[in-house]
């Protein structure tokens, strides 16, 4: 059963989450858009770095909103669509973005917001060489081929990168994310 909704994420906490993502992006000389919504899917904070492709704006917001509205990572929809057949009806579900990267943010067992992130973005950015990583079995080979060491752990930090393996590991991922935000 999905987590219940809690008190919405504050602007201050949303800015801290985005700042950690932007700091990592700057450190690695890549651009990105970061979207953080509250539990209702309404945008709380957004940052688009200079040079980020225009298409990333709506994609980032859509993935974060999808994760909040449907109380699950956007990858769940991606997997259903990829399986084909009756799962293709997901494409008609308003607000469901079937692209990996949107995750609910959970604190004290309740959804307080969501964030858009994706292991595939890091693969595309070419920054995984020498880093530890994890993710679903569906992207394991992609991570390894991008030069990362794949680790079968629920969640962990490698520098400023916070990794979570699968949907069931979201509580572990969120704990790691909160620790990273608090560490600044």
What range defines the domain where residue 133 resides? 11-183
Stated length of the chain:
184
For the stretch 34-44, pLDDT in tens is: 899 988 889 99
Average pLDDT, integer, range 40-66:
87
Number of structural domains (the chain) is 1
Q: Give the CATH number, domain containing residue 95.
A: 3.30.450.150
Give me the pLDDT at residue 146, please: 83
Residue 35 near residue 46 (C-beta atoms within 8 A)? yes
Can you list the alpha helix ranges (DSSP code H) found in 107-163? 119-125, 137-145
Domain membership flag for residue 113: yes
Domain membership flag for residue 59: yes
Mean pLDDT, rounded, of the chain = 80
Q: How far apart are CA 177 and CA 21, in angstroms?
A: 10
Domain membership flag for residue 41: yes
Strands (DSSP E) found in 25-160:
33-38, 43-48, 102-107, 110-116, 132-133, 149-150, 155-158
Domain membership flag for residue 4: no
The percent of residues in the chain predicted with pLDDT above 90, rounded, is 5
Residue 97 near residue 70 (C-beta atoms within 8 A)? no
pLDDT above 70 for 124: no
Side by side, which strands form the sheet with 102-107? 43-48, 33-38, 110-116, 102-107
pLDDT above 80 for 180: no
Name the CA dihedral angle for 110, 113, 116, 118, rounded to a multiple of 10 degrees: -10
Average pLDDT, integer, range 97-122:
67
Domain membership flag for residue 6: no
Domain membership flag for residue 1: no
Domain membership flag for residue 72: yes
Give me the pLDDT at residue 46, please: 94
Domain membership flag for residue 108: yes
Residue 33 near residue 57 (C-beta atoms within 8 A)? yes
Give me the pLDDT at residue 125, please: 60
Q: How far apart are CA 155 and CA 152, in angstroms?
A: 9
Residue 44 near residue 96 (C-beta atoms within 8 A)? no
Which sequence positions are flagged as catalytic?
117
For residue 46, give the nearest of 27, 70, 64, 26 by alpha carbon.
64
pLDDT above 60 for 129: yes
For the stretch 10-26, pLDDT in tens is: 898 888 888 877 887 78
Give me the pLDDT at residue 120, please: 59
């Amino acid at each position: 059963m999905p987590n219940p909704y809690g008190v919405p994420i504050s602007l201050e906490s949303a800015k801290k989450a985005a700042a950690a993502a932007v700091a990592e992006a700057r450190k690695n000389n890549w651009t990105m858009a970061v979207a953080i919504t509250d539990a209702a899917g309404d945008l709380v904070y957004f940052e688009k770095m200079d040079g980020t492709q225009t298409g990333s704006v709506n994609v980032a917001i859509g993935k974060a909103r999808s994760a909040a509205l449907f109380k699950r990572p956007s990858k769940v929809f991606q997997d259903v669509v990829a399986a084909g057949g009756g799962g293709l009806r997901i494409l008609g579900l308003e607000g469901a973005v079937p692209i990996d990267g949107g995750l609910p943010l959970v604190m004290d067992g309740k959804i307080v917001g969501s964030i858009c992130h994706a292991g595939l973005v890091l693969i595309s950015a070419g920054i995984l060489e020498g880093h530890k990583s994890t993710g679903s079995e569906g992207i394991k080979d992609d991570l390894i081929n991008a030069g990362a060491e794949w680790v079968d752990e629920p969640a962990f930090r490698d520098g400023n990168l916070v990794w979570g393996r699968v949907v069931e590991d979201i509580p572990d991922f969120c704990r790691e994310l909160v620790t990273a935000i608090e560490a600044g």
